[in-house]
Amino acid sequence: MELEIQKIWEEEKLFKFDPESPKPKFSIDTPPPYASGRWHMGAAIHYSQIDMVARTMRMRGYETFFPFGIDRNGLPVEVQAERHYGVNMFDVPREKFIEMCKKFLDEAENDILSIAKRLGLSADFDHLYRTDSDLWRAVTQKTFIDAWNAGLVYEDYKPNNYCPRCRTTLADAEVEYEERRTLLVYLKFKTEDGEDIIIATTRPELLPACKALIFNPADDRYTSLEGKYAITPLGEKVPIYKHHYAKPEFGTGIVMVCSYGDKADVEVFRDLGLRPVVIIDENGRMTGKAGKYKGMTVQEAKEAVIKDLEEEGYVVKKEEIVQRVPKCWRCGTAIEIIAMREYYLKQKEFVDQIRKLAGKMRFHPKWSVQYLENWLDSIKTDWPISRRRYYGTEIPIWYCKSCGKPVLPPAGRYYKPWKEDAPYDRCPYCGSREGFEGETRVFDTWMDSSISPLVYNGYGWNENLFQKLGSSSLRPQGKDIVRTWLFYTLLRVYQILKKPAFEHVWLSGLGLDPRGRAMHRHLGNVIYPWPFLKKYGADAVRMFGAMEAHHGSDYRISEERIEGAFKFLQKLWNVARFISIFPEPEEQPPLTPTDLWILGETNNLIKVALKGYDELDFFDPAVNIRHFVWEIFAPHYIEMVKHRAYGGETDKSLQLAAWWTLHQVLRIILRLAAPIIPHITDFIWRKIYGGSVHKQLFPEPNPEWETEYVNYGESIMNFNSRIWKEKKAKNLPLTAPISAKIPEELAPFREDLIKLHNITET
C-alpha cells in the first residue's frame, strides 16, 4: 500500500514547490546527510520527523520548500574512502583519490536516497543538491571571496588542533573527547640548589620541549620557588612561575609547560612569553629537537623516554589514570597541538551578535537554546578554515611567483587552483608576468555546509528564488552538531546578510540502542532501518519515532514498540474499513448526546494536536491520536452506535446522525495524523473521500461541539468497562443480556448503552 501511494504522489507531483504561489512561504534548511555510510534508525527517524514538519506547514496553509541535499565533502568522506579502498590519501595521486571518493559517495548516496524515499519524505528529489557540485562549490568560493574583501579572513602561523593521521588542522568544533587510560609519570627535577622537585605528567615525551614549571598562586607549598630555576632530567635550565593553569590537586601541583601538550600550554606560553619548540611534525613523529627520539611516533617516544628516565633514576613512580583525551571527530586519532600557517575566518568578534540572534529565533524545544549558549561561552579563537586534504572545495587563491602575494579571482564560477592556471595574466600588486602558484589546500567542510540555507534558496545562482525565500524559515538538526553546523551557519549568514539565518531552530534528540547507548560501529550496536521498513512499513517506523519522546529528548529503538505502532495502524485501518461501509450524509442531521459527546472529545483531540504541531513536537499529536482511536473512539463510541449505523429498527434520522458523526471524526483523525503517518491516511482518504488528505488543511475546533456532554466521557467509559468486566467474570459473551442499572447521570446516553450491552434495567 505504501509503495502504491508513493507512486501516486510522484505521478501527481503532489509536493512540488511553486515559488509563484500566493501562499506564505516556508522553507526548510534540510540537513544534507553525509554520504559516508549507511543510515541507522536514529537518522531515519530524524529525517522522517523533518518530513512531518514539512507536511505540518503545508496543512497550515504554507507553500513549503523542502529541498534535499547530500553532503559529499571533507574528512568524513575521505576517511571512509580510505577504509573502503584500503589506501592512504597521501600515497595516491590527487586526481585518482578524488575519483575514488566520488565512486564511494555515489554508492553510499544511493542507499541514503532509497531510505529517504521509502520513508515517504515529501522532499524535492528531482532537484538534488550536492555539496561537491560545481554550483555549490562556486557559491562557497564566492562567500569566501566576499569575506576576504570584507576583511574577515586572514592568514597566520599559530598552534592549532592537528590530526596526525589525517594530516590536517581541525577547528575546536571538530574535536571530540573520550576517556582513555594513560600513565601519570612522576619525574624528578632539581632546583639550582640541588633540591628535588617532583612533577607529574602524562606527556613525558614532551620533556625536550619543556620551557617552564608552574604552580598555582594559591598553592603555599611552592611559593618559595617563584622566580627560581629548575634543571630538567635532560639538563635544561627552565624558570619557575606561578600561574592559574596549574591545579593543586593534580599530581604534585607543580606542572611542566611544554610546546604543546594541550590548549592550556598554548595559553601559558603566550602569557609567559615563552619560545616554543616544534617537537612533533605534521606526520605525528618526533622532530630533530627531540634528540635521540627523532622519527619516532608519539607513543613510541613516550615509551622510550619513560624507559630511559627509569634507567637513569628520574622516575619516582607511575600510576594509571583515566584522562579525557581530545580526538579527531572522524578517525578517532588523538589530537596534537601543532603550529602551522593557516587561513582563519573571524568569529570571536561575532560571538555577542550571534548571542543576540539566538534571542530572536524560536528554538524547539525552548530549552535547547542552551546548547548554543554553552558553545558560544567556549569560543576563544577564530575559525581555522584551511585543510590539507583533497576532497573539498578548493581555496580560490593563486600566489604571485614574483612578489608572493595572494591574488583572488572574481566570484562566479568554481575554481581549482591546484590544477588550473590563474584567470589573469599579471599580478595586480607588482605587475609581474612571471606567473602564479595555485593554492593546494581546501576548505573545512563546514565552510560548504554552513551556507546550506543560502545555496538551497538560490543565493548566488538563482536571484528570483532567493528574493522570494531569503534565508530559510527552519533549521532542523541534531543537538550533537550545534557547535559546528548551527553555529557556523549563524555566523556565516550573519556575515553575509546581517540578519538571522532562521526563524526557527529545531534540535532533535538521539536514537539510542535498547540499552540506552549511542549507536557506533565499533560497539556493534548499530540498528539499521531496512529490516523494519520491510517488516512493518514506513508509517509504523514514523509513528514509533513520534510516540517515543517529546521533541529534543533521546529515545531507545525498540522493535516491540515499532510492532505496537504497526498494530495501531491495523486498528486505524479496521476503523476506517468499518466506517466506509456507510455513506456520508451531505448535510448534518440532528445529533444525539452520544454523538455530541464524541465530537466534544474530538474537539479536545484537535486542540492538543494543534498545540503539538505549533511547537513542531509530534509526541502529543501521535500519543493522543492513538489514545483517542484505540481507547475512546473505537471501543466506546463505535460500539455504542453500531446498532444505529446498521439501521434495523432504528429511526432513519438516528442512523444518519451516526453515519455523519463517524465520518466527521474519521476525517479529523486522518487530517490530524497525516503528517505523522502519511501513507495510510492518504490511502484511506482517497478510497473514501477522493483526492489527497495532504491537500487538506488542519481541522479547527468546532464551537458547536462544545457541549455539556463532553464532561460525561469518563463516566461513559467507566460504565462500559464495568459491564464488560462483569460479563467476562460470568463467562458471558458480550452480546448476552445482562441486568444492570444505568446511572442517572448517563440518562442522555441510555438508549445507546442499552443496545450496546443488551441491558435489562433493574
479-490 pLDDT tens trace: 989 999 999 999
Distance (Å, rounded) from C-alpha 678 to C-alpha 534?
A: 17
Predicted confidence at residue 178, as pLDDT, reads 86
Q: What percent of the chain has pLDDT over 70?
A: 99
Please compute the mean of the pLDDT values over residues 474-479 and round it to a whole number: 96
Distance (Å, rounded) from C-alpha 594 to C-alpha 664?
A: 14
116 within 8 A of 68, measured Cβ to Cβ? yes
Tell how far CA 405 is from the center of its chain.
40
Please compute the mean of the pLDDT values over residues 20-48 and round it to a whole number: 92
Residues in the chain: 762
pLDDT of residue 638 exceeding 90: yes
- Structural domain count, the chain: 2
47 within 8 A of 11, measured Cβ to Cβ? no
pLDDT of residue 354 exceeding 90: yes
Grid cell digits, residue 198 = 617532583
Predicted confidence at residue 331, as pLDDT, reads 78
Q: Where are the beta strands (DSSP E) in 84-209?
A: 124-130, 153-163, 168-170, 175-191, 196-201
- At residue 558, the 3 state secondary structure works out as coil
Q: Which of 289, 315, 336 is the last residue of a domain?
A: 336
The per-residue pLDDT for range 493-528, each reduced to its tens digit, is 999 999 999 999 999 999 999 999 988 877 889 999
Backbone φ, ψ for residue 504 (5° rounding): -125, 140
- At residue 10, the 3 state secondary structure works out as helix
Question: 649 pLDDT band (50/70/90 cuts)?
Answer: confident
pLDDT of residue 333 exceeding 90: no
- Boundaries of domain holding 185: 169-336
Tell how far CA 145 is from the center of its chain.
29
The per-residue pLDDT for range 386-410, each reduced to its tens digit, is 999 899 999 999 999 999 999 999 9
226 within 8 A of 254, measured Cβ to Cβ? no
44 within 8 A of 115, measured Cβ to Cβ? yes
> Is 126 domain-assigned?
no
pLDDT of residue 110 exceeding 70: yes
Q: Which of 279, 301, 336 is the last residue of a domain?
A: 336
Domain of residue 628, CATH code = 1.10.730.10
Radius of gyration of the chain (CA): 33
pLDDT of residue 625 exceeding 80: yes
630 within 8 A of 567, measured Cβ to Cβ? no
Closest CA to 89 of 102, 104, 105, 100: 100
- At residue 667, the 3 state secondary structure works out as helix
> Is 481 domain-assigned?
no
The per-residue pLDDT for range 65-100, each reduced to its tens digit, is 999 999 998 777 888 888 889 998 889 999 999 999
Calculate the average pLDDT of the chain. Answer: 94
Closest CA to 562 of 529, 585, 584, 594: 529
N-terminal to C-terminal alpha carbon distance within the chain: 50
Distance (Å, rounded) from C-alpha 701 to C-alpha 610?
A: 10
> Is 64 domain-assigned?
no
Q: Which of 336, 354, 377 is the last residue of a domain?
A: 336
pLDDT of residue 650 exceeding 80: no
> What angle, rounded to 10 degrees, do the helices at 538-548 and 619-627 form?
110
Distance (Å, rounded) from C-alpha 732 to C-alpha 219?
A: 83
> Is 291 domain-assigned?
yes
Looking at this protein, which amino acid is placed at residue 183?
L
> Is 440 domain-assigned?
no
Task: Answer positive or negative: Cα dihedral of 142, 148, 151, 157.
Answer: positive
The per-residue pLDDT for range 199-209, each reduced to its tens digit, is 999 999 999 99
Distance (Å, rounded) from C-alpha 457 to C-alpha 639?
A: 52
Please compute the mean of the pLDDT values over residues 119-135 and round it to a whole number: 96
> Is 148 domain-assigned?
no
Distance (Å, rounded) from C-alpha 188 to C-alpha 196?
A: 6
Please compute the mean of the pLDDT values over residues 740-744 and round it to a whole number: 94
Closest CA to 286 of 170, 208, 188: 208
Please compute the mean of the pLDDT values over residues 633-643 and round it to a whole number: 97
pLDDT of residue 421 exceeding 90: yes
Tell how far CA 259 is from the center of its chain.
35
Please compute the mean of the pLDDT values over residues 251-259 and round it to a whole number: 93
574 within 8 A of 635, measured Cβ to Cβ? no
326 within 8 A of 172, measured Cβ to Cβ? no
Task: Give the bridge partners for 367, in sequence order.
Answer: none
Domain of residue 253, CATH code = 3.90.740.10
Predicted confidence at residue 336, as pLDDT, reads 87
Q: 365 preceded by cis ω (within 30°)?
A: yes
> Is 666 domain-assigned?
yes
> Is 438 domain-assigned?
no
456 within 8 A of 129, measured Cβ to Cβ? yes
Distance (Å, rounded) from C-alpha 25 to C-alpha 61?
A: 9
Range from 140-144, 157-161, 199-203, 467-471 carrying the lowest mean pLDDT: 157-161
Distance (Å, rounded) from C-alpha 322 to C-alpha 324?
A: 7
Predicted confidence at residue 586, as pLDDT, reads 94
Q: Could you give the strand order of the β-sheet that contains 474-478, starting from the edge strand earlier in sequence?
A: 362-364, 504-508, 474-478
pLDDT of residue 189 exceeding 90: yes
pLDDT of residue 762 exceeding 70: no
Report the 10 Å Cβ neighbour count for 637.
26
Please compute the mean of the pLDDT values over residues 53-59 and round it to a whole number: 98
> What angle, rounded to 10 degrees, do the helices at 538-548 and 678-688 form?
120
Grid cell digits, residue 427 = 599580478
Query: 3-state DSSP helix/strand/coil percent for the chain, to nearest 5?
Result: 45, 20, 35
pLDDT of residue 37 exceeding 80: no
Distance (Å, rounded) from C-alpha 682 to C-alpha 348?
A: 50
pLDDT of residue 39 exceeding 70: yes
Q: What is the DSSP letter of 587?
A: S
